[in-house]
Amino acid sequence: MSPMSQKSKRGGDFMSPAAAPAPSDESPGGEWWGRELFLVGRGPYSPCPEIIDVTGLARVLVFGPYRELPAGIWRATVTLDVSPDAARRPLDVQFGKLPDYTTSPLPFGVPGRHTVKLEYVLRKSGLAEVRVNLKRAAFHGEIRLFGAKVERAGDC
């Protein structure tokens, strides 16, 4: 195990929070939506924990933070870790505003660090969110969401 990783509850390696990219690690501009801004659960909602257990039925694993964005083309760069068990279940990442999202599946069977870039055309200003979805039931597995860098990519 590298000095930057730690064991999850089920024994998989995850990168430490210190290894997560900070907004300054990316291109200048944009806003960092850190893990602490996201929610989990089906109600009552809870703050996003450091490690999210994916065990259970298909569902939205993590969502939020419902930030107001003006009309335009927006890019979210989402960073998360996926344990080996969770990587064997279909997962996707979404960015947008209800009821419409841009969706990108995570590579099936590939554990470790994933950086997903999604662009979304927001025709009217509104509350935007990032979601991570478990597409099928899982018996084991964990993910760790570090956050998302959200930046304007153009006008629409």
- pLDDT per residue rounded down to tens, the chain (156 residues): 333 345 555 555 555 555 555 444 445 679 999 999 999 998 889 999 999 999 999 999 999 999 999 999 999 999 999 999 999 999 999 999 999 999 999 999 999 999 999 999 999 999 999 999 999 999 999 999 999 999 999 998
Q: What pLDDT sits at residue 42?
A: 83
Q: What pLDDT sits at residue 107?
A: 97
Domains and CATH numbers, the chain: 29-154 (2.60.120.200)
Which secondary structure element, helix H or strand E, spans residue 85, and what is its range?
helix 84-87
> Rounded to an integer, what distance in angstroms lies between the CA atom of residue 96 and that of residue 103?
9
Which secondary structure element, helix H or strand E, spans residue 117, and what is its range?
strand 112-122
